[in-house]
Structures are given as C-alpha cells and as structure tokens.
Amino acid sequence: MIINLLNPIVTIPSLKSISDEEALEQYLLTQNVNYFNILYDRYTNKVYSKCVTMLKDIEMAEDATQEIFVKILLSLSKFSGKSKFSTWLYSVTYNFCIDIIRKEKKDITQTYGDYTKFEIEDDSAFDAEIMETNVYRLKDVMTELSAEDNGILLMKYQDELSIREISEVLNKTESAVKMKILRAKERFMKIYKTKYGESVA
Amino acid sequence: MGQNNFKELEKILVESRSKNSDKTKQNINSNINFFGFVSNIIDLYLPKLGNVLTSFDSSSDNIKNKK
C-alpha cells in the first residue's frame, strides 16, 4: 500500500511514439514505472533471444533477462547518451552473458579442431549466404558456436549494428572487431560444412 | 538484400518463450517499487539524520566549552 502511494501509476499519453531516450529521461525525472515499462516492452524479447542463443538454456535466459533489466535500472544514471540506448542495452546483455558463462566455467572461445578447415579472406564475404541459411540449420549451427561468436554474429546480422557500434559494445578497436567477425564467420562456415556436408554458399 | 534468417530465428525463440515473461516483468516492477520505496525513505530521513548528528556534535562542543 505504502509502495503504491509512493509510486503512483500515472497514465502517460502517446506511449508508443516516445523515443527510448525520451522514455529514459522521463523515467529519471518522474520515477514513473510506466516509462521504464516502455523500454522493457520494446526490448525484453530481443534481450531474451540473445540470452537464449548465448547461454543455450531457456531458464537461465529468463533469469538473465530479469537481472539485465534490473542492472540497467540501477545504472541508468551512468548512461551517458553517447551511444543509442539499444546499443548500451546490447552491451550490458552481451557482457552479462559472457560473465555468467565465465562463472559457470563453460567455454567462451571454443577450439574447433575437429571441423573442416574454412578460411574467409574478405570480411564482408558470405554475408548474404550466412543470413539466408535455413533457420533451423542456423539454430543448429549456433548451438555449436561459442557464446562469444554467437554474440558477435547476432550483433552483426540480427541487430544490424555497424562495426563502430560493435566496437563500442565490445570495447575493442574497429579492426579488432572486423577480425572477430571474420573468425566467427569462418567457424560458422566450418561447423555448417561439417554438419551438412556442403558449404553455406 | 535477401532474407535475413537471423531475424526469423529471433521470432522463433520469442514465440517459444513461456508465460514467464509476464512474471519477469512483475518481478522487475517489484524491484522498481522497492528501489523507489528505499530512495524515498532515504530522501525523507537522511536530512533528519544529518541534523541529529550535527546537533550531537554541537552539544558535545558546548559540553567541552563549559569544562
């Protein structure tokens, strides 16, 4: 009762038209839960799907989604606004999942010694082919990939982040990011070829 | 550009998400309410606590001066 009195739920007009940054600003100003809920509703599924792909466990992904939003809530004042809210959220999600995997002592960077050798020379090569991979095969291959590779491929293809944005998320240089993408794609192609006996292309 | 099946994969994973998402939202809202409650308590009582400490300090100074 006291909690409800201290945080009255006020109806906010035109919720859907408000930008992420405006919702954030209004939440910090008014502490009205509805503003935070706008951000939650917009991004919860994206965060959840990333967590499932990286953690490979539905229950862990649901818990992680909750914890990520609480973490976001507690560090909202630290958000500088230099990058987009979504980029910042993906950054928190990616790093949170990597931390969980480290704690669980699972492999973040796996070696793929048993897989067929596959090398790509150009960092933009095979983009279309990878994106057009049959969705069930895609899911299958991604369960074999490491969390780090999955995270990078999701940022590139699912969220369509630029190299600069990915470099902000990973806190690496753009050339390092290009190399990481290249390696992740190579490993994707290796696993695909080994599993299905044909290349993606 | 052709089809992007990474987005399709996201849809499939989200569709298979259980009703837990509502529970997650409720839990987050409870957290928000709790943090709001705690911050209100702090806002309300911290200045008073400051005043109490200041008055203690000044009264101990007075006692020293009297001695």
Q: Does the residue A117 lie in any domain?
A: no
DSSP state of A116: P
CATH code, domain with A186: 1.10.10.10
> Which amino acid does the sequence have at A23?
A
Q: Does the residue A92 lie in any domain?
A: yes
Residues A6, B40: C-beta atoms closer than 8 Å: yes
Regarding whether A96 and A40 lie in a shared domain, the answer is yes
Q: Does the residue B33 lie in any domain?
A: yes
Taking 60 as the threshold, does the pLDDT of residue A173 lie above it? yes
Regarding whether A90 and A146 lie in a shared domain, the answer is no
Q: How confident is the model at residue A9 (pLDDT cuts 50, 70, 90)?
A: low
Regarding whether A63 and A17 lie in a shared domain, the answer is yes
Of residues B45 and A4, which shows the higher confidence score?
A: B45
**Range B29-38 average pLDDT:** 83
* pLDDT for position A201: 58
> For A36-73, what is each residue's pLDDT tens digit?
889 999 999 999 999 999 999 999 999 999 999 999 98
> Which amino acid does the sequence have at A17?
S
Regarding whether A142 and A87 lie in a shared domain, the answer is no
* pLDDT for position A126: 81
Of residues A64 and A122, which shows the higher confidence score?
A: A64
Q: Does the residue A5 lie in any domain?
A: no
Interchain contact B36–A (C-beta under 8 A): yes
Regarding whether A99 and A40 lie in a shared domain, the answer is yes
Q: Does the residue B38 lie in any domain?
A: yes
Regarding whether A135 and A86 lie in a shared domain, the answer is no
Which of B8, B9, B25, B31 to mutate to probe the A interface, most A CBs <10 Å?
B9
**Range A89-94 average pLDDT:** 93
Judge whether A131 and A200 are in contact, CB under 8 Å.
no
Q: Please, which residues have CB within 8 angstroms of residue A155's CB and are 6 or more apart in sequence?
A: A90, A94, A161, A165, A166, A169
Q: Tell me the three state secondary structure of residue B51.
A: helix
Neighboring chain A residues of B27 at a CB cutoff of 8 Å:
66
Among B2, B27, B39, select the one facing A128 at the smallest CB separation: B2
Q: How many CB pairs under 8 A join A and B?
A: 97
Q: Does the residue B51 lie in any domain?
A: yes
Total Cβ atoms within 10 A of residue A75: 11
Q: Does the residue A156 lie in any domain?
A: yes
Burial of A63 (0-12, 13-18, 19+ CB in 10 A): middle
Q: Does the residue A180 lie in any domain?
A: yes
Total Cβ atoms within 10 A of residue A54: 28
The residue out of A103, A119, A149 marking a domain boundary is A103
Pick from A89-98, A127-136, B58-67: least confident: B58-67
Average pLDDT, chain A: 83
User: Cα distance from B56 to chain A (closest Cα, Å)?
Assistant: 31
Taking 60 as the threshold, does the pLDDT of residue A101 lie above it? yes
Is this model's pTM higher than 0.80 or not?
Answer: no
* pLDDT for position A11: 54
Residue reference for tokens 């990520």: A68
Q: Does the residue B59 lie in any domain?
A: yes
Judge whether A19 and A28 are in contact, CB under 8 Å.
no
Q: Does the residue B6 lie in any domain?
A: no
CA dist A201 to A2, A181, A189, Å? Answer: 61, 17, 9
Q: Does the residue A7 lie in any domain?
A: no
Query: Which residues of A sit within 8 Å Cβ distance of B?
Result: 2-4, 6-7, 31, 33, 36-37, 40, 44-46, 48-49, 52-53, 58, 62, 65-66, 69-70, 73-74, 128, 131-135, 138-139, 142, 153-154, 157-158
Q: Render the burial of A13-30: b for 16+ CB within 10 Å, e for the rest.
A: eeeeebebeebbebbeee
Q: How confident is the model at residue B7 (pLDDT cuts 50, 70, 90)?
A: very high
What CA–CA distance (Å, rounded) separates A64 from A71?
10
The tokens describing B16, both together, are 């298979």
Percent of chain A with pLDDT over 70: 81
Regarding whether A37 and A92 lie in a shared domain, the answer is yes
Q: How confident is the model at residue A3 (pLDDT cuts 50, 70, 90)?
A: very low
Q: Tell me the three state secondary structure of residue A75.
A: coil
Parent domain of B60: 22-66
Among B5, B17, B27, select the one facing A48 at the smallest CB separation: B17
Q: What is the ipTM of this complex?
A: 0.76
Taking 70 as the threshold, does the pLDDT of residue A1 lie above it? no
Taking 80 as the threshold, does the pLDDT of residue A177 lie above it? yes
**Range A73-88 average pLDDT:** 85
The residue out of A103, A136, A152 marking a domain boundary is A103
Among A7, A53, A132, select the one facing B33 at the smallest CB separation: A7
Total Cβ atoms within 10 A of residue A125: 14
Regarding whether A57 and A17 lie in a shared domain, the answer is yes
* pLDDT for position A182: 92
Taking 70 as the threshold, does the pLDDT of residue A12 lie above it? no
Domain tally, chain A: 2
Question: Which helix or strand (DSSP H or E) is residue A196 part of?
Answer: helix A174-196
Total Cβ atoms within 10 A of residue A48: 25
